[in-house]
Structure formats: C-alpha cells, structure tokens
C-alpha cells in the first residue's frame, strides 16, 4: 500500500481542488473501462526506453542534509521494489520545479484522501540531481512528497518520458512562458505551495508519472503538461485498470 505522506494536514485549497475533481469519479464506469484514457496511455518513448539499464541512487533527505546511498541497477530498478516483491509501483518523475511540485502535491493529497484507489501500490519519486538546490529538495520532501526518492543517474526514466522540455516556441516567445508561469504561480500560491521549492536546478525538464503493474510491466504513464493539473479522475480510473491488467 502507499505509505502515508508525512504531512498530516493539507492546505484546504488543495483538498478542495482534489475533492471537486473526484466528485466526477464513477466507480461503475471505472470498473467497466477496458482502455486507458488518451492522456494516460503508453507512448513509444516509454516502450522503447531501456529501463533495465537504469541506475538509481537512493536519496536520504532529512532537515539537515541530503545524502545518496545504495544504487539500484538494471532489473532491480525497473518497477522499483515491485520487481522483487510483486506489488504495484507508481513512480513520480520530475525536477522540483513549480509544475512538478504541483503535480506531486496533488498526487500526495489524492493518495491520502482516496487511499482505496491506491491499494496495493507503492509510491516512489525520481529526481535528476542532488547538490544543486538541496534546500528546495528538503522542502519538497518534507511538505509535498514524503515518499522514497531516487536520483536517476542514467536519465532512463526521463528518456522514458521523452526527455521533454518546455517547447522552443515558448522559449523564443517570452509572453506565453510568462503567462504560464504567472498562472502556475497563482495556482500554486492558492494551494499554499511556496518557500524554497522550484528556485534552483533545471526547471525546464518536464516529468510525469509511470505506473507498473505487479509483474513489473509499465501499464500507463502521465506526461506533465505545462500549465495543466493532473486529471485525478482519469488517473484513478487508470489505477483500477492497471490492477485488472495484471490479472489477465
């Protein structure tokens, strides 16, 4: 099962946002679903990714420092603990930028408030670097995503998500980027997300979520979309279908 997030109380705005989405969730419809929503389907970049070649380092985060420990290699890393224990694995992949923090926070709140949808899943986080903005990383872990973290030295998980960055067109035209940043900042501030998170590191790399079934097979993925929030209804429906996929 998903380990409860260490943060005992979530800002009311985040709870309201998640609850409003989940009011649209229909368990009967989810049970009858036979295919993943378009935004959650596997893309060629993941199907072709060499996750068995990935190299992940366990990241230990406390209030004083960030340290790296044991390395997971090859098959150990694909599906994480699921590869050895037969549980489902949910990997959040992303830098600690504003958009990724918002997605991670929504995911944490969703798992805390709607635990039944996450039954049997273990949740992990992937980061691409340490030693660049450790203060932000410590705050990210303490407040927004208090689940085991790993640094992806091989960038295999980012490659599985297409190594996507904010588009060149957006970078060349600062107005859309500025507008998206303002909208994200307002949305994040409305959810009481702030402090040091998002202030350092490379914030242009886009992350997402990769979900493995109990056979360590990737079954669906979510690509972080600049300026958009995680669709909680589609995501929970996909979790239900992932369980059925394993039982086939």
- The pLDDT tens digits for 21-54 are 999 999 999 989 899 999 999 999 887 787 877 8
Q: Which residue has tokens 């890393």?
A: 77
Q: Contact, 192 vs 14, CB < 8 A? A: yes
66-73 sheet: strands from edge to edge:
66-73, 55-61, 149-152, 121-127, 88-93, 208-212, 218-223
Report which DSSP code applies to 219. Answer: E
For residues 85 and 79, give the distance between their C-alpha atoms in angstroms, rounded to a whole number. Answer: 10
Asked which of 26-35, 61-70, 124-133, 159-168 is least confident by mean pLDDT, the reply is 159-168
For residues 209 and 91, give the distance between their C-alpha atoms in angstroms, rounded to a whole number. Answer: 6
Q: What Rg do the C-alpha atoms of the chain give, in angstroms? A: 17
Helices H / strands E in the chain, number of each: 10, 7
How confident is residue 192, by pLDDT bands cut at 50, 70 and 90? low
Instruction: Give the pLDDT score at 171.
Output: 39
Instruction: Give the pLDDT score at 36.
Output: 95
What is the model's pTM?
Answer: 0.81
Residue 3 C-beta-side C-alpha neighbours within 13 Å: 12
Instruction: Tell how strand 88-93 and strand 121-127 pair up.
Output: parallel
With residue 99 as reference, give the H or E element that holds it.
helix 98-113
For residues 139 and 195, give the distance between their C-alpha atoms in angstroms, rounded to a whole number. Answer: 8
């Amino acid at each position: 099962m998903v380990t409860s997030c260490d943060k005992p109380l979530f800002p009311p705005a985040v709870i309201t946002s998640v609850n409003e989405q989940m009011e649209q969730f229909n368990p009967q419809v989810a049970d009858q679903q036979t295919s993943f929503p378009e935004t959650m389907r596997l893309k060629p970049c993941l199907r072709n990714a060499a996750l068995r070649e990935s190299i992940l380092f366990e990241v230990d985060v406390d209030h004083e420092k960030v340290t790296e420990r044991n390395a997971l290699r090859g098959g150990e890393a694909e599906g994480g603990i699921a590869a050895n224990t037969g549980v489902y694995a949910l990997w959040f992949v992303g830098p600690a930028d504003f958009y990724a923090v918002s997605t991670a926070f929504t995911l944490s709140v969703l798992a805390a408030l709607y635990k039944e949808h996450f039954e049997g899943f273990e949740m992990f986080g992937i980061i691409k670097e340490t030693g660049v903005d450790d203060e932000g990383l410590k705050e990210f872990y303490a407040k927004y995503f208090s689940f085991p973290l790993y640094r992806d030295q091989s960038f295999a998980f980012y490659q599985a998500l297409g190594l996507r960055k904010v588009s060149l067109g957006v970078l060349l035209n600062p107005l859309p980027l500025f507008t998206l940043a303002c909208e994200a900042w307002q949305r994040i501030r409305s959810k009481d997300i702030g402090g040091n998170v998002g202030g350092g590191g490379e914030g242009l790399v886009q992350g997402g979520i990769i979900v493995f079934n109990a056979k360590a097979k990737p079954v669906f993925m979510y690509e972080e979309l600049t300026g958009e929030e995680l669709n909680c209804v589609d995501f929970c429906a996909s979790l239900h279908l992932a369980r059925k996929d394993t039982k086939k």
